[in-house]
C-alpha cells in the first residue's frame, strides 16, 4: 500500500501538474486532493481507516492511494485537467463552473457531496446588520474573491437584492485571504478587513469574540441546508477505472455512516489527521452541531446550479442535480 500526503503550493501547482501529467496509471491507483478544514472530515475518516483499500479488496484490487493537500479551487482544477490528480475537492459553485466549462471535452462531474454546513458572513462593523449595509469602506475577506464558494454565494444574494446585472456589486470590496488569515485579521483589528465570509471551524472561533457578529448564513441565502463542497473527477477517470471508482465511492458512504454513528470518534479523527491544535471539546461541538450534516448526498446543490445559470456564470442549464453527478451517486437521495 502506498500512502503519501503532498502539499502543493497553489501558485506553483500548475507547473507541478503538467510535470506529473505524463504519469498515467492503470486501474488500482487513485490520487486525491483535499483542502483544509472540518468540511473534509469524510475524507479524513476515509484516510484514517484506510477505507479505499478496504473497499478495493472487495473489488479484487490492492489500491494504491496518494493523498494531497491543496488550498483553493484554481489549483485543484488545474491539476485535475492536467492529469496530475484523479479526484479533487472544492465548493459546490467552483465544481459546477468546471462541469459547465468542460462539457463535451473532459466532462468533469461530481462524485459526491462532502456534507452540508452553513457558512457565516461575519462583521466587526456594528453598522452592518444586513448585506445591504455594506459600503465601499468595508472589506470582506473570502478565500477566492469573485469565484470561490463564499463569493458565489454572496453574488447570489446580491443578485436577489439588486438584480442579476449587479451580482458583482460586492466583488470590489472582497479581498482574497485564507480562512485562518482572515480570522486572525478580523479578530486582531487594525487592518482593512472588517468582514469575513467564513466557514467551520473558523466562524465559530470568531464568534467567541464579542466584537464579531453574524450578518447572514449561506443557509439563509439558499433556503435551508445545502452542500458546502463536492468531490469531482473527469469522465476519463470514471470510465477507465470502474472498480477503483466504485471502491472510492463506497468508502465515502462508509465514512459518512461512521461519522453519523460515532461523532466523538470522528472529531478525534479530524484532530489526528489534520494535526489540529483545536480543543477536542470545540471540535466535537462542531461535529455535533445540528446544522451540519456529513453526507455524500447533495442537498440544495440545484439551487446553486439554477441561480448561477440565471446570473450568467453557468452557460449550460442543468435539468436536475443528476446532470452534474456521475450515476453512482443516484443510489442516494439528492437535490
Calculate mean pLDDT across residues 111-135: 97
- What was the pLDDT predicted at 100? 98
Q: Are residues 206 and 247 in the same domain?
A: no
Q: Are residues 233 and 106 in the same domain?
A: yes
- What was the pLDDT predicted at 284? 95
How many domains in the chain?
A: 2
Q: Are residues 301 and 251 in the same domain?
A: yes
Percent pLDDT > 90 in the chain is: 82
- What was the pLDDT predicted at 19? 43
Q: Are residues 98 and 188 in the same domain?
A: no
Please, are residues 173 and 141 in contact by the beta-carbon 8 Å criterion? no
Model confidence at 307: pLDDT above 90: yes
Distance CA 262, CA 303 (A): 31
Please, are residues 103 and 197 in contact by the beta-carbon 8 Å criterion? no
pLDDT in tens, 39-72: 999 999 999 999 999 999 999 999 999 999 877 7
Calculate mean pLDDT across residues 221-247: 97
Count CA atoms within 13 Å of residue 211 on its CB side.
Answer: 11
Using 50, 70 and 90 to split pLDDT, how confident is the model at 122? Answer: very high
Please, are residues 172 and 142 in contact by the beta-carbon 8 Å criterion? no
Mean pLDDT, the chain, integer = 91
> For the chain, how many residues are written?
335
Please identify which residue in the block is written with the cell numbers 469531482: 232
Calculate mean pLDDT across residues 70-96: 89
Using 50, 70 and 90 to split pLDDT, how confident is the model at 75? Answer: confident
Write down which residue in 195, 222, 249 finishes a domain: 222
Instruction: Return the SS3 of 223.
Output: coil
Domain of residue 126, CATH code:
3.40.190.10
Write down which residue in 191, 222, 253 finishes a domain: 222
Model confidence at 330: pLDDT above 90: yes
Q: Are residues 111 and 24 in the same domain?
A: yes
CA neighbor of 94 nearest in space, from 221, 229, 227, 201: 229
Q: Are residues 85 and 147 in the same domain?
A: no
Model confidence at 291: pLDDT above 60: yes
pLDDT in tens, 128-148: 999 999 999 999 999 888 988
Domain residue limits at 188: 120-222
* pTM (global) more than 0.85: yes
Q: Are residues 48 and 103 in the same domain?
A: yes
Q: Are residues 113 and 240 in the same domain?
A: yes
Calculate mean pLDDT across residues 242-267: 98
Write down which residue in 200, 222, 244 finishes a domain: 222
- What was the pLDDT predicted at 270? 95
Q: Are residues 216 and 178 in the same domain?
A: yes
pLDDT in tens, 13-37: 444 444 444 445 579 999 999 887 8
- What was the pLDDT predicted at 11? 38
Model confidence at 120: pLDDT above 90: yes
Q: Are residues 103 and 230 in the same domain?
A: yes
Q: Are residues 327 and 234 in the same domain?
A: yes
- What was the pLDDT predicted at 17? 42
Instruction: Return the SS3 of 210.
Output: coil
Please, are residues 314 and 236 in contact by the beta-carbon 8 Å criterion? no
Q: Are residues 110 and 180 in the same domain?
A: no
Amino acid at each position: 500500500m502506498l500512502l503519501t500526503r503532498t502539499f502543493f503550493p497553489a501558485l506553483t501547482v500548475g507547473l507541478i501538474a503538467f510535470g506529473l501529467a505524463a504519469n498515467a496509471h492503470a486501474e488500482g491507483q487513485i490520487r486525491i486532493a483535499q483542502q483544509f478544514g472540518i468540511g473534509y472530515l469524510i475524507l479524513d475518516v476515509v484516510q484514517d481507516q484506510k477505507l479505499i483499500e478496504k473497499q478495493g479488496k472487495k473489488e479484487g484490487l490492492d489500491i494504491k492511494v496518494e493523498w494531497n493537500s491543496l488550498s483553493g479551487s484554481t489549483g485543484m482544477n488545474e491539476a485535475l485537467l492536467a492529469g496530475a490528480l484523479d479526484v479533487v475537492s472544492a465548493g459546490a459553485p467552483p465544481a459546477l463552473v468546471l462541469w459547465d466549462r468542460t462539457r463535451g471535452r473532459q466532462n468533469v462531474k461530481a462524485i459526491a457531496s462532502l456534507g452540508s454546513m452553513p457558512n457565516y458572513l461575519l462583521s466587526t462593523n456594528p453598522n452592518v446588520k444586513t448585506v445591504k449595509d455594506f459600503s465601499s469602506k468595508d472589506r470582506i475577506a473570502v478565500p477566492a474573491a469573485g469565484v470561490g464558494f463564499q463569493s458565489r454565494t454572496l453574488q447570489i444574494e446580491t443578485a436577489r437584492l439588486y438584480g442579476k446585472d449587479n451580482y458583482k456589486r460586492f466583488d470590489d470590496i472582497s479581498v482574497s485571504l485564507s480562512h485562518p488569515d482572515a480570522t486572525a485579521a478580523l479578530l486582531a483589528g487594525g487592518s482593512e478587513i472588517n468582514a469575513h465570509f467564513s466557514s467551520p471551524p473558523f466562524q465559530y472561533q470568531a464568534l467567541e469574540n464579542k466584537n464579531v457578529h453574524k450578518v447572514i448564513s449561506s443557509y439563509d441565502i439558499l433556503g435551508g441546508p445545502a452542500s458546502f463542497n463536492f468531490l469531482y473527477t473527469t469522465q476519463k477517470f470514471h470510465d477507465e477505472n470502474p472498480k477503483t471508482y466504485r471502491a472510492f465511492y463506497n468508502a465515502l458512504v462508509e465514512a459518512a455512516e461512521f461519522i453519523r454513528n460515532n461523532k466523538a470518534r470522528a472529531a478525534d479523527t479530524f484532530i489526528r489527521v489534520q494535526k489540529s491544535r483545536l480543543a477536542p471539546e470545540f471540535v466535537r461541538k462542531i461535529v455535533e452541531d445540528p446544522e451540519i450534516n456529513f453526507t455524500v448526498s447533495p442537498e440544495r446543490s440545484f439551487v446553486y446550479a439554477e441561480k448561477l445559470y440565471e446570473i450568467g456564470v453557468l452557460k449550460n442549464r442543468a435539468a436536475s442535480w443528476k446532470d452534474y453527478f456521475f450515476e453512482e451517486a443516484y443510489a442516494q437521495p439528492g437535490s
